[in-house]
Amino acid sequence: MLKYLFLTFYLLVTTSIISNGQSAWVGFSTEYNLPGGNLKWIYKGAPGVQLNYSWVLKKNKGGYPGYGVTIGYIKFSPKADTLYYLVYLGSGNTGYGTASYSSRKLIQLSSSFFWTMPSKTKKTELIFGTEIGYYYSFFNYDFNDDLGSESGKEIEGKGALVPYFSYALYPSKNVRIAPYFKFNLFFSLGSNDSESITYNPNFGTFNYFYSLGLNISYAF
């Protein structure tokens, strides 16, 4: 159920921005993504690209809010073709298993809410925001050990929560260059109720990674 709420929310925000737009920015980001937690066990850092469209609601001296939408793509490659793990076989015996993962691709759809604080010269800005989104995740896996083997494919839409901050420079009135840092948390949606239609065996699991990027936007 939560999955559908996220999707609905995303569509509502997108529609709202487009219909009420006054002064908008369209931008392109390139970033480097560093896996954390259990994602780091398997994958190495990966580049990513994003397209974004943002909208500043009202400009005040002290700061002003904004909204935006983003679509992005990341491809995490595994650290090695084969990973190894230990398997307890009972009676004091330990064996080992091998695991192999395909590249993990993420298609990112998200809406952002941010607050912009301009400097006194108004040539730079600090931006704090949060993205709420939906990440489509694709990868294959294969396990083999003395207890058996297992192969599978995960194709799953996950919820995402991405706090971030950015420092924006304005070389000209219509051009903004903004290096940024994001913390990407994405998690399985659904229910752990095996009898529910939204049952998701992965429910409760999450991953995260960090993004360091540079956004270049144009105002029109």
Partner 1 sequence: MKRFNIFLLSGLLLSCSESPFVSKDVIEELIAFNKNKKNPFKDVKNVVATINNDIYFFSHIDSIPKRLTNSPLEKKTNVKLSFDLTRIVYLDENKIPVIIDSDNGQVLEILSEYSNVKQLGWINNDNSIFLLIGNSVIIYGEAVEVVQPEISYPSNEVLSFSMNDIGDQAYYIKSYGIYAGQKLKFDSEVNKIDTLISVLPNEVSGADYINFYDDTGGFFVGYNDYTSNEIEHVSIFNDYFFWPFVDWYDDFIISPVFNSGHEVLIYGYSNGNYNSIKAVYLGTENYDKNSVEEIKTINIDEYLSEYPIYVDWK
Minimum gap (Å) between residue 212 Cβ and partner 1: 21
Does 25 contact partner 1 by CB under 8 A?
no
- Closest to partner 1 by CB, 130 or 202: 202
Q: Which of 94, 119, 174, 196 binds partner 1 (CB under 8 A)?
A: 94
- Closest to partner 1 by CB, 116 or 207: 207
**Residue numbers 103-132 binding partner 1 by CB under 8 A:** none
- Closest to partner 1 by CB, 103 or 202: 202
Does 90 contact partner 1 by CB under 8 A?
no
Minimum gap (Å) between residue 83 Cβ and partner 1: 5
Minimum gap (Å) between residue 85 Cβ and partner 1: 5
Does 38 contact partner 1 by CB under 8 A?
yes
Nearest to 27 by CA among 64, 48, 54, 47: 54
Query: Binding string, 145-174, against partner 1, x = CB under 8 A?
Result: ---x-x-x----------------------
| Cβ-contact 74, 97 below 8 angstroms | no
Total binding residues for partner 1 by CB under 8 A? Answer: 24
Rounded Cα gap, residues 215 and 208, in angstroms:
21
Minimum gap (Å) between residue 205 Cβ and partner 1: 5
Rounded Cα gap, residues 54 and 17, in angstroms:
8
Give the residues lining the site for partner 1 (CB under 8 A). Answer: 37-38, 40-42, 83-86, 93-96, 99, 141, 143, 148, 150, 152, 201-202, 204-206
